[in-house]
């Protein structure tokens, strides 16, 4: 029986996507070959790349002043690639520190350019359970770095302050889940494995005219223009991950695109947070106004009394991936685009049953 998959990442994808991926591994588009054994220069693979790039732009409502890249090295490599490309030798960048990943991004920039990456504000004082607001952003920064969704703590930024600096955002765990003005951002990056595909590809969407200005020596593979000139095939791209990402992009479009992804995300979030707030046994850990529809973190008030019951009932119902990150504890339900409402309903039913037995 298929489980209800609440894993934070790599995560659930749509059943149609798994079927398409499996078929392509057996034989790709009638070629008599598997997708895994053909050259990335084959015109069918080039067509996959081009369609994926076009669909990313279309889905985000962006034009061809942006380049779309599918790179390797994960979102974590972007923490270094960014300052190489965007932080000038005497410039400064501002980072909003909203969690573990944001902290790593900030630290990585300061390794390359000591003292040049500033922490604009931080919510570390309350274990990153909220998004700082009303903080000052100095003018003239090379860029401001945000993390739109904090996967570990279950917080999401609902608004982004636009400044005179470039705007960069790590959208690893909520890309393609909501409608926004994506053209407000100059560079967006996301590891594929949270809402787009399997691990192995990192999506980068970058406005082309901001590049080539940092004045730094940049290792070839860390230079965005290398990959733009090479049409994201300067070296062997992560072909399988790219293809599964394309299947997901097609699936999203067929479902109704971002408006529908957002509607589903809000419906899932309303059901789960509604139960967390109603059920006297549970408490949410994130500030209410900053709650993420993608990752919901919650605790049992009395773990000693109810944890065994909850865990046993969850297991019996086929719910997996609910353990909270070690830095928060408790539970975390990740509800990415492909998670069915019925999975959330199954979780809510388990929470109600724990209450009935208490």
Ligand X SMILES: *Cc1c(COP(=O)(O)O)cnc(C)c1O
Residues of this chain that interact with ligand X (CB under 6 A) are: 9, 74-76, 101, 147, 151, 170, 172-173, 191, 194
3-state secondary structure of 29: coil
Enumerate residues 6+ apart whose C-beta is below 8 A from 154.
284, 285, 286, 291, 292, 295, 296, 297, 328, 332
Sign, CA dihedral 261-262-267-271, equals positive
User: In whole angstroms, how close is the CB of 243 to ligand X at the nearest point?
Assistant: 18
252 close to 59: Cβ distance less than 8 angstroms: yes
Nearer CB in complex with ligand X: 71/246: 71
202 close to 70: Cβ distance less than 8 angstroms: yes
Instruction: Report the alpha-carbon distance of residue 269 to residue 290 in Å, rounded.
Output: 12
Nearer CB in complex with ligand X: 171/247: 171
User: In whole angstroms, how close is the CB of 223 to ligand X at the nearest point?
Assistant: 19
Nearer CB in complex with ligand X: 338/350: 338
User: In whole angstroms, how close is the CB of 160 to ligand X at the nearest point?
Assistant: 15
99 close to 133: Cβ distance less than 8 angstroms: no
User: In whole angstroms, how close is the CB of 122 to ligand X at the nearest point?
Assistant: 16
Instruction: Report the alpha-carbon distance of residue 204 to residue 238 in Å, rounded.
Output: 14
Catalytic residue set: 101, 170, 194
Nearer CB in complex with ligand X: 91/200: 200
Nearer CB in complex with ligand X: 175/239: 175
User: In whole angstroms, how close is the CB of 191 to ligand X at the nearest point?
Assistant: 3
User: In whole angstroms, how close is the CB of 348 to ligand X at the nearest point?
Assistant: 25
3-state secondary structure of 250: helix
Q: Using CA atoms in the order 223, 228, 229, 231, what is the torsion angle rounded to 10 degrees?
A: 130
Enumerate residues 6+ apart whose C-beta is below 8 A from 225.
211, 212
Nearer CB in complex with ligand X: 287/346: 287
Query: Of 20, 41, 19, 40, which is closest to residue 29 (Cα–Cα)?
Result: 20
Enumerate residues 6+ apart whose C-beta is below 8 A from 254.
none
Query: Of 73, 48, 14, 12, which is closest to residue 255 (Cα–Cα)?
Result: 14
């Amino acid at each position: 029986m298929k489980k209800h998959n609440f894993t934070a990442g790599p995560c659930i994808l749509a059943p149609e996507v798994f079927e398409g991926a499996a078929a392509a591994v057996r034989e790709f588009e009638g070629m008599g070959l598997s997708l895994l054994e053909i050259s990335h220069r084959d015109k069918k693979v080039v067509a996959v790349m081009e369609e994926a790039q076009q669909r990313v732009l279309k889905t985000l409502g962006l034009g061809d002043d942006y380049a779309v890249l599918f790179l390797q090295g994960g979102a974590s490599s972007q923490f270094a690639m960014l300052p190489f490309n965007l932080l000038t030798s005497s410039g400064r960048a501002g980072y909003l520190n909203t969690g573990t990943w944001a902290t790593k991004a900030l630290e990585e920039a300061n390794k390359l350019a000591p003292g040049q990456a500033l922490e604009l504000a931080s919510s570390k004082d309350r274990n990153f359970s909220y998004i700082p607001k009303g903080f000052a952003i100095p003018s003239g920064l090379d860029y401001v770095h945000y993390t739109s969704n904090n996967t570990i703590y279950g917080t999401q930024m609902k608004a982004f302050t636009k400044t005179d600096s470039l705007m960069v955002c790590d959208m690893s765990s909520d890309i393609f889940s909501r409608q926004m003005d994506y053209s407000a951002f100059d560079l967006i990056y996301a590891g594929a494995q949270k809402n787009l595909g399997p691990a192995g590809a990192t999506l980068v969407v970058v406005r082309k005219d901001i590049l080539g200005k940092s004045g730094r020596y940049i290792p070839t593979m860390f230079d965005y223009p290398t990959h733009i000139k090479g049409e994201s095939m300067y070296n062997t791209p992560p072909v399988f991950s790219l293809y599964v990402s394309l299947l997901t992009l097609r699936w999203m479009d067929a479902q109704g695109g971002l408006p529908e992804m957002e509607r589903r995300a809000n419906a899932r979030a309303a059901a789960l947070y509604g139960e967390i707030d109603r059920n006297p046994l549970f408490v949410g850990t994130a500030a209410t106004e900053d709650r993420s529809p993608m990752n919901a973190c919650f605790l049992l008030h009395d773990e000693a009394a109810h944890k065994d019951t909850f865990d046993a009932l969850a297991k019996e119902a086929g719910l997996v991936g609910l353990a909270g990150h070690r830095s928060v504890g408790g539970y975390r339900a990740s509800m990415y685009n492909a998670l069915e409402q019925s999975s959330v309903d199954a979780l809510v039913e388990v929470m109600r049953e724990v209450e009935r037995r208490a």
